[in-house]
Every structure is written in C-alpha cells, then in structure tokens.
Chains A and B, each alone.
Chain A
C-alpha cells in the first residue's frame, strides 16, 4: 500500500508548466529517488508533496486508508529552514518540540542525530555561524527527527561528504528495513540516484523513466573499452575476431562498445595483456543516461485538480 502517491500531478507557474503529469507512488520502507537536472521541477515537486503548494491539476494522496491517523510529509528543503539566533542543538530541540516529541526522547535522540550527521562539535554554535554544508546537515537532521513516516530530502545529499553520506545512508537503510520511514530523495547526482531502490527520472517537468537505476543507465548505451598502444598491429584484428566487436579509432585511441565491460576487460588482460600498454573501462553514468533522455523534446497542456488525504 502506498504511503504517498501523486496521480497525474501538474503545476503551472510563471507562464510555464513546471511539472506535467507526474505519477509516483512511495510504499512503506521504500527509498525512491527523483533524479533530474537543476530546474527540472524537483523542488516544486517537494513543495507539492509537503502540502506547501497546490498542484494545478492531479491529486496527492497521503497516508494508508487503513490507518485512522493521517500524517504530514516531512521535507528537508534544499534551502535550509533554521533559526539563525539559536544554537544547533536549540534548533533541533525547537523542531522536535514542534513535532510533539517529549523531553526525554528529545534528550536522547538529538545528540544521537548530531553525532550521526557529524554536527556534535557545533552543538553549541549559533546556526548563523555554520557553513552551508553544515546547515544542509542540520536540515537533514531536522527532517529525520520529525515523526512523519515519509521524508522528502531535496538535493541535500548531493553535496554531503562521502563519510557523512555513508553513515547517514546506513541509518536510512535501517529505518527503511524496519519500515519506520520511507524516503523520497530528490537529487541531481548520479552517485546518490545510483543507491536508491527505484528512481523516477524527471526532465523538463515530466517523468521520463521510472524503474531501477541500472535499467536507466542502459539508456546511455553499452560500456566503452579504450585500448592503449599496441605493439603488434595484428592484435587489433585478433581482438575484433575473438570478441566479435568493431574497434574504432577516435582522437588517436582505439575503442569499442560491449555489454559487459568488466568481464571483457578480464578476457583482454589474460589474452592480450602483453601486447598493449593499458586497458580503460568507461561505464556510462546515470548523468550520461540523463543527457540521452534530455535530448528528447516535449510539449504539454493541462486541466484542474487538488489535494486529497486518504
């Protein structure tokens, strides 16, 4: 059962369709990535999911109809919401209080959250003195402390330190496994989209792909293997014959495309390792696939709609 669902959501703003016909479902214990370039409509989608903006048409459905108690979707915005006059700890204390968290639980969970997001050393520092990266982490901490079963994180994971990202991701996976929280990760980074269970790729306000990241990557084509200098000119034709590939020369480099690059590199090294100076495997990234998707055009028009809590 979907905890959060958008059905044919469109949004018209400033004379243009920012979102068009977005249909997306987020189930319990799911991490769904919304992957797209800057300006593709991700932040507008976050505001609509949080109930801060109304869609021009379509429906946003929040909650499980079997559960009596409706909930608000929590959002960690790309532009952090914080009180600059308060310390880091006080900011989290204030938001946790606003979410109805009792004192004992706050005293336990806030320090743990600060530790997890490597903010402990700034615990007593005024929020106004934090760097933009630390403010982003404070915003994520605020979102995670909220009791909502769905957290939307808008682009904040893109700029995280790898160490912080890893620690945070492990925690998010724990929450996902225990079905405590589901996540919608809005991102422009292929590295982040790659680790999501399912991604919706958004381009020019529409969803161009919905599925597993590895399936989307295939849109960018096969792996490319670049070969280093070969002493023996016959090696090129032997490789072509043995692997049934077409080797092309570009900018002085020999290269060819294959489906399973890793396996082929292994074969090349064992068979022809002595005859070439190096082998380089270039795997298409999700960004490459996004470029391919973005090259396709679109034209749109719309109707009326609203918002509904199940």
Chain B
C-alpha cells in the first residue's frame, strides 16, 4: 500500500516536468499517427511494433535520471529514514513507470483503433 502511495506521488513528480510530459505523450502519439497515415507501408507497420519498447526506454531513462538526482539531493536518504526499505522505494518507482507506460500504450492503441 505504501509503495502504491509513493508511486502516485512519483507519477505526479514526473508529469510535472513539462518537457517530460510532452515526450511521454508525443512518442506513442507520433508513432500511432504515422502508422495510421501510412497503413500500407510494411516497414512502418514493423517499426510501430517497437513503440512499446521505445516508450519503455523513455520511461526507464526518466526514472533512472530521477533516481540519480534524488540520491544526490538526499531525497532517497530522507525516505530511507522512514520505516521502509529501499526496495519499497524502488518498487514504487517501478510502479509509477509501469502506470505511465500503461497510459502510453492505451493512447497508442486507442489511436490505432480509430478508423480514419
């Protein structure tokens, strides 16, 4: 339960960076639109299959950078002085990444589902 609460706050933190928020939306949106626009292109169809991987890499990079910054700023130490382990903190970060990825995939799938 604590990991879920922390994941909620962490998702908020990530989404409050304008550039990051734009990137989270833009990547699946751009790939889905390209695939829909050039539905006849076999190469684009294959390339679109990489969308989950690209999104996962983007989210992973954001989480890694955030963890590094938080470690340097003492935020992780601050959280560690609460009665929770670093594993719970790491789990919360993974959960927040997974929730962002899920929304990205939902966005990707919903655009593909639209019949242009």
Tell me the A residues contacting B by CB distance below 8 Å. 50-52, 71-75, 77, 79-83, 85-86, 90, 93-95, 97-100, 139, 142, 146-148
Among B8-16, B27-35, B48-56, B101-109, the stretch that binds chain A is B8-16
A-B interface pairs (CB < 8 A), number: 73
Q: What B residues does A52 contact at CB under 8 A?
A: 77, 80-81
Q: Is B94 an interface residue (CB 8 A)?
A: no
In-complex Cβ contact of B81 among A50, A79, A86 (8 A): A50
Q: Is B42 an interface residue (CB 8 A)?
A: no
- Tell me the interface secondary structure of chain B in the complex: helix
A83 touches B75 (CB 8 A): yes
A79 touches B74 (CB 8 A): yes
B6 touches A142 (CB 8 A): no
Q: What B residues does A50 contact at CB under 8 A?
A: 77, 81
Q: Nearest-CB distance from B47 to chain A (Å)?
A: 33
A95 touches B78 (CB 8 A): yes
A99 touches B9 (CB 8 A): no
Instruction: Apart from A75-B81, A83-B75, list 8 A-B contacts with CB within 8 A.
Output: A80-B74, A81-B75, A81-B78, A94-B6, A95-B82, A98-B82, A142-B78, A146-B82
The 4 A-B residue pairs with the shortest CB-CB distance in the complex, in nearest-first order: A81-B78, A97-B5, A98-B82, A85-B16
Q: Nearest-CB distance from A192 to chain B (Å)?
A: 21
Q: What A residues does B62 contact at CB under 8 A?
A: none
Q: Nearest-CB distance from A110 to chain B (Å)?
A: 14
Q: Nearest-CB distance from B88 to chain A (Å)?
A: 8
Q: Is B68 an interface residue (CB 8 A)?
A: no
Q: Nearest-CB distance from B58 to chain A (Å)?
A: 18
Tell me the B residues contacting A by CB distance below 8 Å. 2, 5-6, 9, 12-13, 16-17, 73-75, 77-84
Q: Which residue of A lies closest to B73 (CB)?
A: A81
Q: Which residue of A lies closest to B5 (CB)?
A: A97
B83 touches A99 (CB 8 A): yes
In whole angstroms, what is the CA distance A148 to B78 when docked? 13
In whole angstroms, what is the CA distance A51 to B79 when docked? 13
Q: What A residues does B9 contact at CB under 8 A?
A: 83, 86, 90, 93-94, 97
Selected A-B contacts with CB under 8 Å, 19 pairs? A50-B81, A52-B77, A52-B80, A72-B83, A73-B81, A77-B77, A77-B78, A79-B73, A81-B74, A85-B13, A86-B12, A86-B13, A95-B79, A98-B2, A98-B6, A99-B84, A139-B78, A146-B82, A148-B83
B78 touches A82 (CB 8 A): yes
In whole angstroms, what is the CA distance A100 to B88 when docked? 12
B84 touches A98 (CB 8 A): yes
